[in-house]
Each structure stands twice: as structure tokens, then as C-alpha cells.
């Protein structure tokens, strides 16, 4: 064989590879068979952004397995196909293409990451294909825009909302104190800055860190700057590894301001697993929209942690797991509401019309309607106990709610309805 | 004032840790003319072995020593089983410069994947043996603690030991000779292959210590995807290049320069310049001295 | 092997174009998209072949140059609503300028020093996007090449349009690159790669030679980056990570870094590997930890095996064997 032949051969190989596809038989609705519904998910399972997030598929599958063992949704079991995108948009697009075009999933569930979801929206264009994109796993406020992303539903409160609510909490409780902020220099952090600025909060020290640079060493720099500016109250609005680094280093440097932890990085279980002593967390303020993961008096927490412990023994039940299982629960209800012969269109219509009545573990309602794809829109504040668990102040959940725009922050009077029997969609 | 002092201390500590990795890279470069990207993977593996030892013995220093030997052994194994084969097949042509990089990158990937498969992707913790609470000066607290002091002392000791080995002992002479002129060294009776393996073993040991000390600089927790280890690789390599790749002292100086400059940039300009600062430092140094701070300009063979 | 005349090569490329046209009609949408991804890699890998294979300089930061091209194209589109060919041209030119600057700095550096510099570049450059609001930060900018013209029919999918644009750009780029490699510039690179002292004595200006290689290679990388931006519809720092630079290098080694002939092999492998590895992993996978990390393990293992046993790439390997067979 000579060189020219090899070059031609490789070209032929390429052609063969591209044409070697078998098209599966057409189903009634894409991803729906008489016995199952297939959903697809992309998120970082490996790579630097994966720690913590790579527990989510296991959590969701734990709930879906439990659901399937109890009859599934209208007699169909729910299958979740998970693809690793390593937090790179090119891979997110490639894997989403595989899920939609090859695996023929009915809908995408909880795809993770702002840049990734934007790339998928721009390239794969699920809206044009009519593919529902359920409950995106990001707090970027833009995805709730029904004109830009007509088939996409947000679920997490946006970072702007959280910043505004935090600003209100600070005004109510720490007026006049010197404020400091540690934030990540990407959409996560800048979205929050927008919210703080809008609420008129001024910081004596604003410390940005490059995403991926958070460590004990860089945290020492943050603490130095914060203490030099004599901040009494410091908001840590970063991811868990940043929060852990910040808290641990500050303790080592005997700097103890009043900490306020953002929800993304505020999970007590993750922080303690990263080696931060419970005593350091004690009395820090934290925010969440779901019950605390250690609150065994809560029906949802008890049920979900039971299910998870049986499905993935030895793995800690942290916030990523609780929120993951909750999202799976909400998705299951959406599929049930889509009817006995669900289609993509009926799924979208079901969320629009009935979404606001879906049961969920969160202490705030879902805001779905024909004109709103916003999920949760608020937080409650608590303090970490001496054992480092987040508990509501005075044992009562006080919920604040707002929007991602210029709306005011108000206290919510909503009470969560009782959990449906066995935590299954009714 | 205290901020200034703290900036220096932060830079010194991180520079010290990077210098171990930079030394490991220089050791391999000088003995085999290869940049070993898998070095950080070996450091990670050694840290995990240290963790495993801690589970049974609960003594940090024992774990550190075991990790060091494990790192040395693993590194030597890679040299024997892998690098010799690689260099035999790719000793000439443009592939010669690229192949070892690709191969060691592949090795890095295998090590990381292997670790994740055995120990899982979540954090494990090796509790630092000494307190990380900063020393106090009056009302201020320094960013320097017993643990950080121990780190700096350990690094200084290792640098000293390695320098002595290289400059003052016969083995060191053999190491330098084998890298510089292998054929002549062989003629002089040096077991070049064995000596090369030794070079890799020393490099593995340095890397292992760097890995474990790195985790002790903070909370002691790490995972296969820990930021710190990816940074260790890149910073160690850049530090080695800044220092000139030719001497251990150069590696240490390069690492300290990198650590200090980055620390100042982060403190006084902006924390978001973390990934840009090393590039600028590197460009500046190489612009003024293309062979690095203590590099030796390669002579022209007429 | 006889070198084909320029006219014959032009005909071959035109035929390839026609073949691709028919191919795009025969395969399904997923494969068409993957075809566009293959095109991105073909251009990207060929930029490395030029820089490393021909000019002998190692760059660990080609991904950063792809990023420069991608951002340039996106900015042209967003701020000036420029037509696509102009956006691509901007990508090539801006990246080439960056490459020229890098080349001037790099001309004095060799081997590991150059590798270290390009590595630092790969890590540092994407994060610049977070410094300037114009560059859109972490969430990135949109790059919308628009819908295919209506004249192509209602059923003409967006991905087919991507494939056509990418294939055309790739064919032109590779044709041009082959011309360059056969010109006196290509010969002078090969001379410097072989023995730089002798080359200098023969009158070749080393600095200019090396800088030219960097410039042209960067231009190609810029085009590859613009094509990549087209396929994902956005540019963001996370789209040009360090792993992209390593993937391109990997693809170049798989293809055979000294020759353009095998560039398809590397490109197809890079696109196909994640899929194959994923399929293998899900079939073999026991625990979750194993299933998640198996693809990474397989890719790394393939890399090592290739470097060990087929270091110069399949094309060169076969030529070597043929030459040696003749000698017997």
C-alpha cells in the first residue's frame, strides 16, 4: 500500500464512518415508548468543575428508580441518560446533539452551566426542534426569558435574586456595618454584583477571584484584603471550594467577621467534608430555598435521604443531592401532568398550566405560568449551629422573595403543602 | 504594612511548594531531556498513597516518608517500563520534541482516571500535622503558621540535600555526566541507564513531597480534580522554565519569583489576573534572558 | 511519490468538494454536525503540522490562538454585522497578527522554553475575556452565522449549512497550505528543521523563517477557532481550555505530525473517540466511578500506544516500510 492509497483509504474511512448510522424506528413521540420515557442530561462528570456536581446523576437516578419501582409515571418508567461534558461548551453541544439526534430523548433535564446552556441554545437550538429543556441547573437569570428560550424552564433562584435578597437581609440586620464581598469573576459573580448594586449596597472591599484559582494560598490574599479594609460583615459568594478555602484560611489568620454564605457555596456537608471545622461555621449566616439537609423533621429530607442512602450507600446526603432529587421529583410531576400519552408539546403545556401547583421540597413556590418560566424566586436565611448545620433563625423559616429585575424584596407568606403520599406524583 | 509582609509570606510559601515541583521537572529534564507532565499525576498518586497510609497508621510524617518512597518507586517504574521504550522509538525528527510531551500527558490522564476509579471523585482529607493558625505580632496575625514554617523548612532541606547530591557526590557527577554526554559517561564506566532511573526516582520523591505538602497548606482535603494539583503542574513547569531548566537552584529561584510576583499582583491589582500573571512574568524573563534566569546558553556546534 | 501538479491537485480538491456535497445529503444530521467538527480539527491539526512538523517548533497553546480567531469573528459579527466570509477573514488576520507577535518572541526560544511559554499562554489568554466587558466574560458572546438561504429549500438544516461552510473553508485552507508547503518557504522550514546551523549558513534568516511559520500557523488556528465558534454558536473562555491545545497536539501525533496526508485520521479519531469510549464504558461499566472515568482512561491509553508504536503517524510509517522493503 502506498501513501496515496492510504490517504484515499482514510478519506473512504471517513465517509464510511459518517454514513454508518442506523436510524431507529419512529416512536409515537420522540423518547416515549409504551413502557418508558427517556430524558437526557449533560453536566461535568469529570474535569475540574466536576467535584460535587458529579453526584447529581446518582441522586436523580436514585429518585427515578424509586419512582419506577412504585409504578413510574402513568405506567412508564423514566430513564435518565447522562453525558459528561467536562464543562466545555463544545462537548456540551456534541453530547446534547447525541442525546437529541441519536438517543432520541424526549426532553433535556437539568443541563448544567451558563456558557454550556447558551451554546446548546445557539447551536442545537432545542427551541426550534420543540425539545423541552427542563429546569436548567444554573442561576443565570437570562434563561427564564420566554422569548429567547421558549422551551426552557429555570428552576433555581437567579443569582441576581439572591444578591437582592441578601442585600435586604443585610439592611434589616447589619445596617451601618462595613461590608466585604468575595466573588467569582464570571457570570456567577457579576450577576450577583448586579443585584447588590441595584439594591444600593456598597462594599469597603470587593475581592474577585479567577474561577479555578481558589485555594488556601489565594484565600490568604482575600483575607488580608478584607481585614485591611476592616470589614465586619463579609459575603462569600463563591463555589464550595472557595467558601471552604475562605473560611478555613480566615480562621487560621484569626479573622472572624460575620460571615454570610451564598447558597451555591453554602452547603454545610460539603464545607465540612473539605476539612473546615464546625466551630468555624458556627453563627455564619447562610441562605437556602430548600430545607436544611440535616433537618430530619422535614418529610422530604427524611424520605429523600432514606432513598439516597439505600441507592448510594456511603455517600453523603448534601445539598447537591437534595436539590437533584427535588428536580427529579418536579420533572416526574410534569411528566405525569403531561397526560397518559405525553408529547413534548403536552409536557410544555402541563408545566405552563399546572407547574405552579407542583409539590416540591422547596419552601417557596414554583412560578411557572404561560408567561413565566421562572422557578423558585427566593430564600430563607439561617445560622449555622455549633455542629455546623444550617438552621433557620429561631427555628422559623422566614422567606424573602423577589424578581430578577427591579422589583422589591418582600417577605413570602406561602406555606409549603404537605408532601404527597410516599413522595410520588399524584 | 502588615499586608505587605503577608503578601511576601504568601508568595514565599506557595513559591516553596512550586519549587519542589520545579525541581522534579528539572531533575527529569537534566537526566533525560524530557518534560515529564505526568509528574503532577505522580504527586497526586503519592498524596493518595499518603492518605491510605494515614488510614492505618495515623502519623503524618510516616505517611510523608512512605509517599516519598512510593513517588520515587513509581517514577523509576515509569522510566524503566515506559520512557526507555518511548525514547528508543522517537529519538529523531520533529516528533522527538513532541512525543514525550504527548506520552507523559497520556500517562497523566491514565493516573488521574485510575485514582478516580479507585478512590472515587470526592474529597479525601489528610489532616495537617501542625496548626495552620497564624503567628501573631501584636494585634496583627501573619499569614505564616507552624505548618507553613514546616513546609518552608522541608523544602529548604530537600533543596539542600539534592544540591549536595548533585554537586558533591559521585552519584551526582554521574547524573550530570549521563545527561550531558551519555556515550562518554558510559565509556568512563558509568551505568548510564541506572543513573537515569535514579534521576527519575529523585524527581518522583520531590514531586511526592510537593503533593502532600500542598494539601497541608490548606485544609488538607484533595480530590483527583483538585484545582491545586492542576496548578501545581503548570506553575511548576513555568517556574522551571523561568529558572532556566538547567539547575536546581534555578528551579527554586524561578518558583520563588513566580510565587512572589503572583502574590503581589493578586493582592495589589486584582484577583482575577491569577492565570495571566505567570504568562506575563514568563514573557518578561524570557525576553530579557531567553535561557531563563540561571540558564546556560547552548553553545553552537560549528 | 510523484508530486502532483497544481492543476491536478485543484481538480482533486474540486472533486472532493463535490463528494462532500453528495455526502452531506446522504447522512443524518448528527453525522453532518460531526463532519463540521471534523473540519474544525482538520484545520486546527494542520496548523500544528505546519508549526511543529514542518517548522519544528512546539506549541502547547494553539487553543489560545483558536480562541483569538473565534472571538475576532464573533466581535465582527456582533458589532458590525459583517458577512460570514468577512468574519472568518478577520479571525484569520487577527490570529495571524497574534501569531506573528508570539513568533517574534518565540524565535529566540527553543524546545521546552517555547513549550512553557505557549503553555502559559494557553492558560492565561482565555481568562482575559473576564477582564474586559467587551469580551462578554464567562458567559461568552454569540456567534450566529445565520440560517441557510431560502434558495436551498425548507429542509436544509442549520447543521448542513455549518458543514458546507466548514468544508469549503477547510478545502480552501488545505489547498493553500499544501501550496505553501511546496513553496520555497516550506523547503526553508524543512531545512531549518533538519539543521538550523547549515540552513543559516545557506542564507536563511532564522528569525524571519520561524516567525513566518508562527504567523501562518496562527492564521490557520484562527480559522479553526472561527469554525469552532460557528459550530457551537458562541465563544466563551471555557470553549478554549487547555485540553483543546492538548487535543490538537494529540490529533497531530495521531495523524503523523510531519505530513498533511494523514490529517483526516487524527481529526476523525478526535471526534469519534469520545463516542466510542462512552459506548465501551457503558457496556463495561460497573461502578459509577469506573464508568465516568473509563473514557478518559481509554483516550489516554490510545495516545500512549500511538506514540509508542506509530510515532510518526500511519502515513509516514507505511512509507518507511515501503522504502525499506524496496531496499531488501
Q: What is the pLDDT of residues A95-113, one digit of tens each?
A: 999 999 999 999 999 999 9
Q: How many residues can be counted in chain B?
A: 302
The winner for highest mean pLDDT among B31-35, B108-112, C135-139 is B108-112
Chains with at least 3 CB pairs less than 8 angstroms from chain C: A, B
Q: Which residues of B touch A218 (CB under 8 A)?
A: 266, 271, 274
Helices (H), A174-209: 187-198
Q: Which residues of C touch B282 (CB under 8 A)?
A: 116-117, 120
B286 and C197 within 8 Å at the Cβ level: the answer is no
With the C-alpha atoms ordered A256, A257, A258, A260, is the resulting torsion angle positive or negative? Answer: negative
Q: Give the pLDDT of residue A180.
A: 94
Q: How many CB atoms lie within 10 A of CB A356?
A: 13
Q: Give the pLDDT of residue C135.
A: 85
Separation of alpha carbons A137 and A114, rounded Å? 8
Report residue A379: phi and psi, to 5°.
-145, 160
C60 CA to chain B: closest CA distance, Å?
A: 9
Are C289 and B121 spatial neighbours (Cβ–Cβ below 8 Å)? yes
What CATH number is associated with residue A355?
Answer: 3.40.50.2300
Domain annotation covers residue A293: no
Q: What is the mean pLDDT of residues C62-86?
A: 94
Residue of A nearest to C230 (CA): A123
B78-96 CB burial, b ≥16 within 10 A, e <16: bbeebbeebbebbeebbbb
Test mutation, A57, A209, A217, chain B, max B CBs within 10 A: A217
CATH 1.10.3470, domain B2-288, yes or no: yes
> Which of C316, C3, C304 minimizes the C-alpha distance to C178?
C3
The winner for highest mean pLDDT among B282-291, C133-142, C220-229, C309-318 is C220-229
Separation of alpha carbons C62 and C18, rounded Å? 31
Helices (H), C151-205: 158-182, 184-194, 196-201
> Which of C244, C205, C200, C260 minimizes the C-alpha distance to C51?
C260
Q: Give the pLDDT of residue A256.
A: 92
Separation of alpha carbons A130 and B79, rounded Å? 55
Chain A contact for B110 (CB, 8 A cutoff):
no
Distance between alpha carbon A304 and the CA centroid of its chain, in Å? Answer: 17
Separation of alpha carbons A59 and B141, rounded Å? 43
Residue A25 clears pLDDT 50, i.e. is over it? no
Q: Which residues 112-141 in chain C show a CB within 8 A of chain A?
A: 127, 130, 137-140
C19-34 CB burial, b ≥16 within 10 A, e <16: ebeebbeebbbbbbbb
Tell me what percent of chain B is helix, strand and coil, each rounded to the nearest 5.
75, 5, 25
Q: What is the mean pLDDT of residues A261-273?
A: 87
Domain annotation covers residue A13: no
Are C123 and A213 spatial neighbours (Cβ–Cβ below 8 Å)? no
B287 and C253 within 8 Å at the Cβ level: the answer is no
Are A167 and A235 spatial neighbours (Cβ–Cβ below 8 Å)? no
> What one-character DSSP code corresponds to residue A112?
B
SS3 A182: strand
Between helix C263-284 and helix C288-309 the angle, nearest 10°, is 150
Residue C1 clears pLDDT 80, i.e. is over it? no
Q: What is the mean pLDDT of residues A271-281?
A: 86
Q: Give the pLDDT of residue A56.
A: 94
Residue A21 clears pLDDT 70, i.e. is over it? no
As a whole number of angstroms, the longest Cα–Cα distance in chain C is 66
Are A305 and A326 spatial neighbours (Cβ–Cβ below 8 Å)? no
Task: Quote the cell numbers at residue C228.
Answer: 469552532
> Which of C56, C58, C112 minimizes the C-alpha distance to B25?
C112
| Span B174-199, pLDDT tens digits | 887 877 777 888 888 888 888 889 88
Burial class (CB in 10 A: 0-12, 13-18, 19+), A371: exposed
Residue of B nearest to C304 (CA): B103
Separation of alpha carbons B109 and B101, rounded Å? 12
Chain A contact for C322 (CB, 8 A cutoff):
yes
Q: What is the mean pLDDT of residues C33-40?
A: 94
Tell me, yes or no, whether A385 and A264 share the same domain: yes
Are C9 and A4 spatial neighbours (Cβ–Cβ below 8 Å)? no
C293 and A46 within 8 Å at the Cβ level: the answer is yes
Tell me, yes or no, whether A97 and A120 share the same domain: yes
Share of chain B above pLDDT 70, in %: 96
Q: Which residues of B touch C115 (CB under 8 A)?
A: 35, 97, 101
- pLDDT bracket for residue C321 (50, 70, 90): confident
Q: How many CB atoms lie within 10 A of CB A60?
A: 25
- pLDDT bracket for residue C276 (50, 70, 90): confident
Residue C168 clears pLDDT 70, i.e. is over it? yes
Q: What is the mean pLDDT of residues C3-19?
A: 82
Residue C6 clears pLDDT 60, i.e. is over it? yes
Angle at C322 between CA C316 and CA C325, to 5 degrees: 140
Residue A22 clears pLDDT 60, i.e. is over it? no
Residue A173 clears pLDDT 50, i.e. is over it? yes
A275 CA to chain B: closest CA distance, Å?
A: 5
Domain ranges of chain B: 2-288
CA distances from residue B229 to A53, A335, B75, B106 in whole angstroms, order as listed: 19, 43, 17, 16
Q: What is the mean pLDDT of residues B22-35?
A: 86
Separation of alpha carbons A252 and A247, rounded Å? 9
Q: Which residues of B touch A321 (CB under 8 A)?
A: none
Question: How many structural domains comprise chain A?
Answer: 2
A275 and B125 within 8 Å at the Cβ level: the answer is yes
A175 CA to chain C: closest CA distance, Å?
A: 32
Residue A8 clears pLDDT 70, i.e. is over it? no
- pLDDT bracket for residue A253 (50, 70, 90): confident
SS3 B219: coil
Tell me, yes or no, whether A360 and A384 share the same domain: no
More confident residue, A65 or B292: A65
Q: Which residues are A380's β-sheet partners?
A: A288, A399
Separation of alpha carbons A310 and B137, rounded Å? 52
Residue B247 clears pLDDT 50, i.e. is over it? yes
Return the C-alpha torsion angle C278, C282, C285, C289, nearest 10: 60
Using CB atoms, pick whichever of A6, A23, A45 lies closest to residue C314.
A6
- pLDDT bracket for residue C54 (50, 70, 90): confident
SS3 A148: coil
Chain A contact for C296 (CB, 8 A cutoff):
yes
Tell me, yes or no, whether A372 and A383 share the same domain: no
Between helix A3-19 and helix C29-48 the angle, nearest 10°, is 150
B268 CA to chain A: closest CA distance, Å?
A: 9
B271 and A221 within 8 Å at the Cβ level: the answer is yes
Separation of alpha carbons B17 and B207, rounded Å? 10
Q: Give the pLDDT of residue A2.
A: 61
Tell me, yes or no, whether A273 and A386 share the same domain: yes
B279 and C56 within 8 Å at the Cβ level: the answer is no
Q: What is the mean pLDDT of residues C21-26?
A: 83
Using CB atoms, pick whichever of A48, A209, A220 lies closest to residue B230.
A48
SS3 A81: strand
CA distances from residue C287 to A58, C233, C281, C292 in whole angstroms, order as listed: 11, 35, 11, 9
A115 and C28 within 8 Å at the Cβ level: the answer is no
Separation of alpha carbons A300 and A291, rounded Å? 8
Using CB atoms, pick whichever of C34, C144, C295 lies closest to residue A122.
C144
> Which of C212, C169, C203, C204 minimizes the C-alpha distance to C35?
C169
Separation of alpha carbons C264 and A287, rounded Å? 52
Separation of alpha carbons A379 and A84, rounded Å? 30
Q: What is the mean pLDDT of residues B41-64?
A: 90
B300 CA to chain C: closest CA distance, Å?
A: 8
Residue of B nearest to A224 (CA): B3
> Strand pairing of A258-261 and A77-84?
unpaired
| Span B195-216, pLDDT tens digits | 889 889 999 999 999 888 888 8
The domain of A334 spans 36-157+302-376
Separation of alpha carbons A62 and A192, rounded Å? 33
Chains with at least 3 CB pairs less than 8 angstroms from chain A: B, C
Are A230 and A178 spatial neighbours (Cβ–Cβ below 8 Å)? yes
Using CB atoms, pick whichever of A3, A97, A125 lies closest to residue C30.
A97
Residue C292 clears pLDDT 90, i.e. is over it? no
Q: What is the mean pLDDT of residues C67-82?
A: 93
B237 and C119 within 8 Å at the Cβ level: the answer is yes
Report residue C62: phi and psi, to 5°.
-60, -30
More confident residue, C114 or B256: B256
Task: Quote the cell numbers at residue A99.
Answer: 442525546
**Of the candidate ranges A197-211, B2-16, C183-197, the one whose mean pLDDT is the lowest:** C183-197
SS3 A260: strand
Residue A1 clears pLDDT 60, i.e. is over it? no
C297 and B291 within 8 Å at the Cβ level: the answer is no
Helices (H), chain C: 6-26, 29-48, 62-80, 84-106, 111-124, 158-182, 184-194, 196-201, 206-232, 242-255, 263-284, 288-309, 313-327
Please report how many Cα atoms fall inside a 13 Å half-sphere around the Cα of residue C226, on the Cβ side. 31
Distance between alpha carbon A114 and the CA centroid of its chain, in Å? Answer: 11
Query: Global pTM?
Result: 0.89
Amino acid at each position: 500500500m502506498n501513501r496515496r492509497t492510504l490517504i484515499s483509504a482514510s478519506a473512504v474511512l471517513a465517509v464510511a464512518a459518517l454514513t454508518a448510522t442506523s436510524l431507529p424506528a419512529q416512536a409515537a413521540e420522540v423518547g416515549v415508548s409504551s413502557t418508558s420515557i427517556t430524558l437526557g442530561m449533560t453536566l461535568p462528570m469529570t474535569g475540574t468543575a466536576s467535584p460535587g456536581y458529579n453526584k447529581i446523576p446518582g441522586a436523580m437516578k436514585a429518585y427515578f428508580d424509586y419512582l419506577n419501582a412504585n409504578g413510574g409515571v402513568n405506567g412508564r418508567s423514566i430513564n435518565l441518560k447522562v453525558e459528561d461534558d467536562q464543562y466545555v461548551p463544545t462537548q456540551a453541544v456534541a453530547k446534547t446533539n447525541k442525546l437529541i439526534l441519536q438517543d432520541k430523548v424526549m426532553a433535556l433535564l437539568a443541563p448544567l452551566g451558563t456558557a454550556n446552556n447558551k451554546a446548546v441554545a445557539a447551536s442545537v437550538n432545542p427551541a426550534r426542534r420543540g425539545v423541552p429543556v427542563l429546569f436548567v441547573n444554573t442561576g443565570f437569570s437570562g434563561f427564564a426569558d420566554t422569548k429567547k428560550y421558549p422551551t426552557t424552564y429555570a428552576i433555581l433562584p437567579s443569582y441576581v435574586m439572591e444578591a437582592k435578597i441578601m442585600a435586604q437581609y443585610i439592611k434589616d440586620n447589619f445596617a451601618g456595618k462595613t461590608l466585604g464581598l468575595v466573588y467569582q469573576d464570571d457570570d456567577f459573580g457579576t450577576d450577583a454584583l448586579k443585584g447588590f448594586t441595584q439594591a444600593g449596597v456598597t462594599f469597603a472591599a470587593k475581592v474577585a477571584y479567577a474561577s479555578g484559582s481558589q485555594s488556601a494560598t489565594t484565600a490568604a490574599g482575600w483575607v488580608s484584603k478584607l481585614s485591611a479594609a476592616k470589614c465586619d460583615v463579609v459575603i462569600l459568594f463563591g463555589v464550595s471550594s472557595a467558601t471552604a478555602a475562605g473560611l478555613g484560611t480566615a480562621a487560621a489568620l484569626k479573622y472572624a467577621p460575620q460571615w454570610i454564605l451564598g447558597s451555591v457555596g453554602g452547603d454545610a456537608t460539603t464545607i465540612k467534608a473539605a476539612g473546615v471545622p464546625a466551630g468555624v461555621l458556627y453563627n455564619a449566616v447562610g441562605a437556602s430555598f430548600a430545607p436544611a439537609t440535616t433537618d430530619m423533621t422535614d418529610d422530604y429530607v427524611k424520605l429523600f435521604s432514606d432513598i439516597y442512602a439505600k441507592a448510594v450507600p456511603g455517600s453523603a446526603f448534601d445539598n447537591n443531592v437534595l436539590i437533584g432529587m427535588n428536580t427529579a421529583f418536579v420533572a416526574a410531576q410534569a411528566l405525569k401532568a403531561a397526560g397518559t400519552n405525553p408529547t413534548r408539546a403536552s409536557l410544555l403545556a402541563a408545566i405552563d398550566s399546572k407547574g405552579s401547583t407542583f409539590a416540591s421540597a422547596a419552601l417557596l413556590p414554583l412560578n411557572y405560568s404561560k408567561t413565566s418560566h421562572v422557578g423558585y424566586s427566593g430564600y430563607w436565611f439561617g445560622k449555622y449551629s455549633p455542629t455546623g448545620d444550617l438552621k433557620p433563625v429561631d427555628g422559623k423559616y422566614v422567606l424573602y422573595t423577589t424578581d430578577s429585575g427591579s422589583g422589591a424584596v418582600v417577605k413570602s407568606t406561602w406555606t409549603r403543602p404537605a408532601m404527597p403520599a410516599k413522595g410520588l406524583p399524584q | 504594612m502588615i499586608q505587605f509582609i503577608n503578601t511576601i509570606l504568601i508568595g514565599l510559601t506557595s513559591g516553596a511548594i512550586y519549587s519542589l515541583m520545579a525541581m522534579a521537572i528539572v531533575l527529569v529534564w537534566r537526566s533525560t531531556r524530557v518534560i515529564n507532565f505526568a509528574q503532577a499525576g505522580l504527586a497526586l498518586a503519592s498524596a493518595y498513597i499518603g492518605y491510605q497510609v494515614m488510614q492505618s497508621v495515623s502519623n503524618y510524617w510516616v505517611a510523608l516518608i512512605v509517599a516519598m518512597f512510593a513517588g520515587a518507586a513509581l517514577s523509576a517504574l515509569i522510566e524503566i517500563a515506559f520512557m526507555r521504550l518511548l525514547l528508543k522509538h522517537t529519538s529523531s525528527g520533529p516528533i522527538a520534541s513532541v512525543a514525550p510531551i504527548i506520552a507523559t500527558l497520556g500517562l497523566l490522564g491514565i493516573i488521574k482516571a485510575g485514582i478516580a476509579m479507585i478512590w472515587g471523585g470526592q474529597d479525601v482529607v489528610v489532616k495537617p500535622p501542625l496548626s495552620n493558625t497564624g503567628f501573631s505580632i501584636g494585634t496583627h496575625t501573619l499569614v505564616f503558621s507552624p505548618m507553613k514554617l514546616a513546609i518552608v523548612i522541608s523544602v529548604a532541606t530537600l533543596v539542600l540535600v539534592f544540591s549536595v547530591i548533585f554537586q558533591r557526590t559521585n552519584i551526582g557527577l554521574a547524573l550530570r555526566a549521563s545527561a550531558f554526554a551519555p556515550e562518554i559517561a558510559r565509556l568512563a564506566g558509568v551505568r548510564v541507564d541506572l543513573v537515569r532511573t535514579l534521576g527519575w526516582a529523585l524527581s518522583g520523591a520531590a514531586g511526592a513531597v510537593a503533593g502532600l505538602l500542598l494539601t497541608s497548606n490548606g485544609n488538607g482535603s484533595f480530590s483527583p480534580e483538585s484545582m491545586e494539583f492542576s496548578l501545581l503542574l503548570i506553575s511548576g513547569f513555568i517556574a522551571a522554565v523561568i529558572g532556566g531548566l538547567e539547575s536546581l537552584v534555578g528551579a527554586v529561584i524561578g518558583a520563588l519569583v513566580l510565587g512572589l510576583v503572583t502574590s503581589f499582583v493578586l493582592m495589589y491589582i486584582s484577583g482575577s489576573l491569577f492565570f495571566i500573571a505567570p504568562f506575563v512574568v514568563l514573557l518578561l524573563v524570557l525576553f530579557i534572558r531567553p535561557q531563563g534566569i540561571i540558564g546556560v546558553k547552548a553553545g553552537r556546534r560549528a | 511519490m510523484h508530486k502532483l501538479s497544481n492543476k491536478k491537485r485543484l481538480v482533486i480538491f474540486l472533486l472532493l468538494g463535490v463528494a462532500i456535497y453528495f455526502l452531506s445529503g446522504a447522512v443524518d444530521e448528527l453525522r453532518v454536525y460531526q463532519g463540521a467538527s471534523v473540519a474544525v480539527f482538520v484545520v486546527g491539526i494542520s496548523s500544528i503540522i505546519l508549526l511543529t512538523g514542518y517548522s519544528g517548533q512546539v506549541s502547547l497553546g494553539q487553543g489560545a490562538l483558536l480562541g483569538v480567531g473565534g472571538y475576532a469573528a464573533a466581535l465582527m459579527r456582533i458589532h458590525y454585522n459583517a458577512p460570514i466570509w468577512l468574519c472568518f477573514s478577520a479571525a484569520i488576520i487577527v490570529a495571524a497578527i497574534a501569531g506573528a507577535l508570539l513568533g517574534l518572541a518565540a524565535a529566540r526560544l527553543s524546545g521546552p522554553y517555547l513549550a512553557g511559554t505557549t503553555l502559559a499562554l494557553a492558560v492565561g489568554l482565555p481568562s482575559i475575556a473576564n477582564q474586559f466587558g467587551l469580551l462578554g466574560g464567562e458567559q461568552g458572546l454569540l456567534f450566529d452565522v445565520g440560517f441557510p438561504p431560502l434558495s436551498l429549500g425548507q429542509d436544509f438544516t442549520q447543521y448542513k449549512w455549518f458543514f458546507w461552510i466548514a468544508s469549503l473553508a477547510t478545502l480552501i485552507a488545505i489547498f493553500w497550505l499544501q501550496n505553501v508547503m511546496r513553496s520555497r518557504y516550506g523547503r526553508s522550514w524543512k531545512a531549518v528543521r533538519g539543521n538550523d546551523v547549515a540552513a543559516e549558513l545557506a542564507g536563511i534568516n532564522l528569525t524571519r523563517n520561524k516567525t513566518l511559520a508562527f504567523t501562518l500557523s496562527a492564521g490557520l488556528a484562527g480559522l479553526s477557532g472561527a469554525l469552532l465558534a460557528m459550530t457551537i454558536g458562541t465563544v466563551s473562555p471555557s470553549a478554549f481550555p487547555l485540553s483543546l491545545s492538548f487535543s490538537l497536539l494529540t490529533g497531530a501525533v495521531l495523524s503523523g505530525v510531519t505530513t498533511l496526508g494523514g490529517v483526516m485520521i487524527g481529526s476523525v479519531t478526535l471526534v469519534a473517540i469520545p463516542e466510542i469510549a462512552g459506548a465501551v464504558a457503558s457496556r463495561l461499566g460497573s461502578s459509577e466511578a469506573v464508568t465516568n472515568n473509563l473514557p478518559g482512561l481509554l483516550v489516554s491509553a490510545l495516545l500512549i500506544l500511538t506514540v509508542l508504536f506509530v510515532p510518526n503517524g500511519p502515513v509516514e510509517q507505511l512509507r518507511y516500510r515501503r522504502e525499506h522493503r524496496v531496499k531488501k
